[in-house]
Amino acid sequence: MKLKTALLLLTSVMLSSLQAGEIATSSGKNLGAAVQPADTRSIYDKIWGAATLYKSDDNPVLQEFALQGRLHLQYADGDGFSSGDRPEEVLWGDMEVRRFRLGFKSKWFRQFKLEGQIDVNPNFDPQFYSQIYDLNVTWAPNDRFNIGIGKYKANFFSVEQFTSSKEILTFERSLLSNTLFTSELTGIRANGKINNWIYTVGGYAGDDQDEFTDFSAGAVIQAGIGYDLTSLTGMDKGIVKFDWQHSTDSKNAGGGALFTNAFSLNSTWEKGRFGLYTDVLGGLGRDSQSDVWGFHVIPSFYILDGLQFVTRYQFGSGSNDGLPLQSRYERLSPHVTDGGRGDQYQAVYLGLNYYLYGHKLKLMAGTEFWDMNGGGDGGDYSGWTTLVGLRMFF
């Protein structure tokens, strides 16, 4: 099934590419006689521009067809562990291939977007294709209303999850953000902006599958309402948003299985060289999982053009061992006890990002100091993780 789906996806990309090439050729007139202007684009623009196989606003059917992908590499070192201790199938030597995705994106009939990506096995073992990361079609007639159906990352919840991994400022998202996150799910969702009001709503089948749902695990519902304060505050960007997530079944993927309801009050602020993300999160536990709550703040500042300083403080609380240490990389430490679970978690991240071509090509380095209070079960542990890496996408 995986192989058939992968072949269908890749065949679709190839056929669309060929069709785009035919359209481009048929639209040209006496190409050999045309005088081409000098190409003044930067080397980065030329390289990344090659991913766009066809683009024409004059074509009423297909306006754009492009390849897309991302490659995130990182090396981690901590208290008695390193990224080399991660599973062998995700390693290039001691370097972890954090994300490796390939796919396409396209615009049709001036109002539709069709795009998809697959996760690639880093060592092509047992095969090149791993699973469908996302594959969906969206009708986007205007900024006020967009609606889509297909497989998505269910990220209409919390500021870190809503921010693509292509653009997050830290190597990993915060503990509570990851604890409450569900997965990549099949569903339908809509979003838009009406005046200064921003809304998001999504309904997903709750099972996490390599391809699409088999409707075996209830549903996950997400909804959010926000307000754009940019014009009122004089900021370059200022958004405050409230998100809600509901899980109907203990068989739901990820945090949906653990928490019946979750909440996030988050904000995004930018002014000149300064940026700030904030998020207050909570989850109402299901069965033996306790309620959890916490917050994180992520200030950033451009020291120089292209060089950004980033820090993050995060706090989490959950009784009866309600909080798990991060599976990447904290639980790798040989000094962790009680399964890496505890009642109170704090962490401080300090990092630098160097942008060679914006978020499309950047170098990252950071260290996070973290502490878990294990409550009465002896799970106390403090440690650190230092990471360096390269991130790119097209």
Question: Where are the domains positioned within the chain?
Answer: 71-98+165-393
Cα(366)–Cα(388) distance, integer angstroms? 7
**Which pLDDT belongs to residue 25?**
35
pLDDT of residue 371: 95
Q: Cα separation of 156 and 166, whole Å?
A: 16
Mean pLDDT of 130-141: 98
Q: Which of 57-66, 195-204, 327-336 has the lowest mean pLDDT?
A: 327-336
User: What is the pLDDT at residue 354?
Assistant: 98
Please give the average per-residue pLDDT across 243-256, as a whole number.
97
Nearest to 263 by CA among 291, 243, 239: 243
pLDDT score of 394 more than 90: yes
pLDDT per residue as tens digits for the range 199-239: 999 999 999 999 999 999 999 999 999 999 999 999 999 99
Asked whether the beta carbons of 298 and 310 are under 8 A apart, the reply is: yes
| Residue 150: pLDDT over 90 | yes
The superfamily (CATH) of domain 71-98+165-393 is Porin (2.40.160.10)
Cα separation, 206 vs 186, whole angstroms: 8
Instruction: Give the pLDDT score at 34.
Output: 57
In terms of Cβ atoms closer than 10 Å to its own Cβ (0-12, 13-18, 19+), residue 82 is middle
Tell me how far apart the alpha carbons of residues 182 and 219 are, in angstroms, rounded to a whole number.
11
Structure tokens at 195: 């005046």
Contact 140, 113 (CB under 8 A): yes
Residue 378 confidence class, pLDDT cut points 50, 70, 90: low
What's the pLDDT at 32? Answer: 43
Rounded Cα distance between 280 and 297, Å, is 9
Q: What is the mean pLDDT of the chain?
A: 91
pTM: 0.89
Lowest mean pLDDT among 15-29, 83-97, 122-136, 300-314: 15-29
Q: Band of the pLDDT at 30, cuts 50, 70, 90?
A: very low
Q: Is the pLDDT of residue 15 over 70?
A: no
Report how far apart, in Å, the C-alpha atoms of 93 and of each of 52, 87, 88, 251 are. 32, 11, 9, 36
Residue 351: pLDDT over 50: yes
Q: pLDDT tier at 376 (50, 70, 90 boundaries)? A: low
pLDDT at 49 over 50: yes
